[in-house]
Structure formats: structure tokens, C-alpha cells
Amino acid sequence: MSTYQDLLAAVTDPSGREILDPATGEVVGSVHESTVAELDDAVAAARAAQPEWAGLGHAKRSEYLHRAADAVEANAEALAELLSREQGKPIKNGPNAAFEVGACAVWLRANADFPLEPEVLVDDESGRAELHYVPLGVVGAIGPWNWPMMITVWQVAASLRMGNTVVVKPSEYTPLSVLGLIHVLNQVLPADVLHVVPGGGEVGKALSEHDGVDKIMFTGSTKTGQAIMRSAADGLARLTLELGGNDAGVVLPDVDPQAIAGDLFWGAFINTGQTCAALKRLYVHEDVYDSVCEALVGVAQQMPMGNGREEQNVLGPLQNKQQYDIVAGLVEDAKQGGGRVLIGGDPEPDQPGYFYPTTLVADLPDDNPLVAQEQFGPALPIIKYSDVEDAIRMANGLDVGLGASVWGSDPDAAMAVAQRLEAGTVWINKHGAVDPRVPFGGIKSSGYGLEFGVEGLKSVAASKVISR
């Protein structure tokens, strides 16, 4: 079991690039960024280790994944503190750092335990055909800064379970968290099965182009996903692309506003809104519009934002200046476009951290930039509609489709709307809940390929038919 100081000492390199705490501007630690030669070495070592790892078989690899989950749990406090200091999310309260570290253990165990037997496709007088799933080789895992540990585990756990070895490229904004996680995992995994190459986009590009990499698991923006497709073309590396979203929620007229307000709030503001499948635009029927707005303001007033090491806070800062500027700019656009700010929208100038207050903006037209673009932060536009057909049309009107939600008391009416919303996942009376057993992935420009569940295992494997 490491203390926070032990863990930081294991991953920080005093001669490297300084990483600053987004809540205070203080230095958290320093990261050594990989050169192309170091990346080549990591891929070569992962390639060399892969046959033996694959040769262990599912049962032995699953044992390793369970041991990895135990190691995460044994080091949970240190991991959560490092994550909080680097990413900004509060340590304990709400779905924050301790929750993220806990999810890492849950996903490791779930991926260890999914049954994956060969599928018998034909078994009759004509013969027998079976579909097997075999390792691809080396997986490159490129991740974002919002849920850096959890998303790394999402990419790594399934890949390792299927007999691949992995080279992880963390976001340049949150490398220490991922280095800390991998340091813990590597205390129990065999040597060279899991590598990490910190660095910026150029390291990610070199990994995507690398001829020693068989598959790229990517989570991040649509623009980077497109660049990765180009980089991966020559080597024909397979891709899973979990890209940006702008999830719509449709609130039907028969809801109880007070009863849904808490879940609506967390659907939108989890991780201070920095979540791929957060609720990012809310369409509310005119009959309940004022009462939903009022109930949401009531919840928002109860949610303290501040330094994540102070016990009472449930919301933290934006992780970086770039994201802060995007959110601030979109809220200005909303004000210019006639939006009525119900709460927030007035960040304190000259504060040390990237804190943008929880913001709700009503009465916006559907084409305002705060509605049409991904804010990825704590500012939710609330749009009024009178005909559910209009709400469905507006919800489906953007070229993204990660998640969506419907809120209503009549299950049949909610299901009818859910079936018409264009998204990889449609939730009813909740938003953004993920489960390691349930496949997750986007459509349209939110990407393709599935993670989680048996489908997630298959996506990091090659299918192989054996026929006789």
C-alpha cells in the first residue's frame, strides 16, 4: 500500500515538465515525456511479451486482472489524491476521485469474469463451424483528461483479458494519474505486458502510425479521432473511437420536476460537466418548463464547488485553461443570444483556479452555440418546446450521437421517444449511467466500436473461424 507521497515519488521526474493543480496553480509533480525512440522501445517490448501473455489463456489472465483490481483497492487513497490534485475533481464526495478509482477495480474484475466461449455457428451433417476470438497483438490506448484513470482501465482491461499487450498514451494534461495507476497495476502484472508513453499529440500520432501496433483504442475529441484514422491507415490498425458528444435530454410533460431534478443535475454536471456522455442540452415541455428550471436551480444551489481536498465540495474546477475559455465563451454567446441566466454565468476574475460557476441558461434558441456545440463544462442550456415532434427533431439535429435521455412518468410514452432518439445509448429517467456489463459506444461523429461487456472483449480480438 503506497502513501500519496510514495506514489508521487514513483511517477514524478524532477527534470520533466511541471503539471499544475487546476484548483490552485500549485505544482503537483513533473512528467518525463517519451521520445520517439522510447515509444519504439515500448512497442517492441510489448510485442515481445505478447505471445507468452496470450499463451497463459483466459483463466490465468483473469487471475491477473483480479490481482490488479486488488492492487488498485489497496492503493485507492493514494490514487484518489493524485487524481484529485492533477485533474481537479473532489476526492470523496459525489461521483468524484474515490468513485473513479473504485470504478477501475470494478471494470478490471468485470472484464476478468465475462464468459467468452467459442460460438458454434453450424453443427449438422454438413460439418461444424466455430467462431473463436483470438488476440490482435499490441493495442495502443490513447486517452483524455476528464476521467483519466477510469478510461485507461476501460481500454486496458478488455485488451489484456483478450491476450493483447498494451501501450498507453495518456493525455498531456493528466499524465501523472495514469502513470500512478499503471505503476500500481505493474506491481502485479508480468513485465512488459503494460507500458505507458507520456507525451502530447505527437506521441499519440507516432503510436497511431506505428507498424508494431495492431489496434488503437481512442477516447477524445472527434477532430483527433479523424486524425487517428488517417495515421492508422497505412498500417491498417483497427480502431475503436469514443469521440465527443452533445447529449440531448427530452423532458416530457408528465414528469414530477422535483423528483427528477437531482438526477437531471448529476446527468449534466457530473465531473463539473467534463464527461463525454453528460447531458449537454435539455429540451423541456412548456407545461413543466418553469417548474423544471426552478427545481434545477434549487439543486444547483446545494452543490458546493471548490478545491477538491476540502471535504464539503462536490464540484471542482475545469481541468485546464483551454476548456475554461471554451465554457466561458459559450456562456457569453448564450447571453448575447438572448439566454436568461438562471444561476451562474459570472466567474470571479483573478482567482487562482479554473473555477467556472455552475450555470443554467434558459430560453435559448436551438441554434445558439451553447446548444449546438459541446461545452464539456458546467453550463447547461434549457430549451422550451411545445410539440414532442419538435423536441425529437432538435435532439436528432446534430451530427453527434453518444448518449441521450428521455424523462417521463409513462413508460410506454418514454420508450416511444427513446426508440426515435439517435444515440449509442438512450437512458430513460437517468443520464450517463454506465455499467461494465452493458456495451457503450457512439454513432454519427461520436465514433464507432463498442466498449464493455462481451462486445467490448470482441472488439479487442480478431475473429477466427474454425470449420470442418
Give contact residues for ligand NAD (rule: CB under 6 A).
Answer: 142-146, 169, 171-172, 200-201, 204-205, 208, 219-221, 224, 227-228, 231, 242-245, 276, 374, 376, 402, 442
Cα angle, residue 24 at apex, residues 330 and 310 outer, rounded to 5°: 100
Residue 265 Cβ vs ligand NAD, minimum distance, rounded to whole Å: 19
d(CA 167, CA 110): 21
Residue 442 Cβ vs ligand NAD, minimum distance, rounded to whole Å: 6
d(CA 100, CA 86): 14
381: nearest Cα among 389, 369, 392, 391? 369
Choose between 137 and 377: whose C-beta lies nearer to ligand NAD: 377
Choose between 436 and 442: whose C-beta lies nearer to ligand NAD: 442
Is 242 catalytic? The answer is: yes
Output DSSP code: residue 315: B
Give the H/E segment covering residue 67.
Answer: helix 57-74
Residue 402 Cβ vs ligand NAD, minimum distance, rounded to whole Å: 5
Choose between 342 and 400: whose C-beta lies nearer to ligand NAD: 400
Bridge-partner residues for 30, per DSSP?
Answer: 18
- The 3-state DSSP class for residue 166 equals strand
Is 38 catalytic? The answer is: no
Choose between 42 and 243: whose C-beta lies nearer to ligand NAD: 243
Output DSSP code: residue 366: T
Residue number closest to ligand NAD, CB atom: 204
Cα separation of the two ends of the chain: 52
Task: Report the 10 Å Cβ neighbour count for 274.
Answer: 26
Residue 322 Cβ vs ligand NAD, minimum distance, rounded to whole Å: 8
Choose between 243 and 252: whose C-beta lies nearer to ligand NAD: 243
Cell 417521463 appears where?
A: 408
Residue 152 Cβ vs ligand NAD, minimum distance, rounded to whole Å: 10
Alpha-carbon distances, residue 436 vs 20, 118, 198, 221, 379 (angstroms): 32, 21, 27, 22, 28
Q: What one-letter code names the amino acid at 262?
A: G
d(CA 161, CA 57): 9
Catalytic-role residue among 276, 293, 374, 451 = 276
Catalytic-role residue among 100, 242, 374, 422 = 242
Residue 174 Cβ vs ligand NAD, minimum distance, rounded to whole Å: 9
Choose between 309 and 430: whose C-beta lies nearer to ligand NAD: 430
Output DSSP code: residue 34: P
Task: Report the 10 Å Cβ neighbour count for 307.
Answer: 19
Q: What is the set of active-site residues?
A: 242, 276
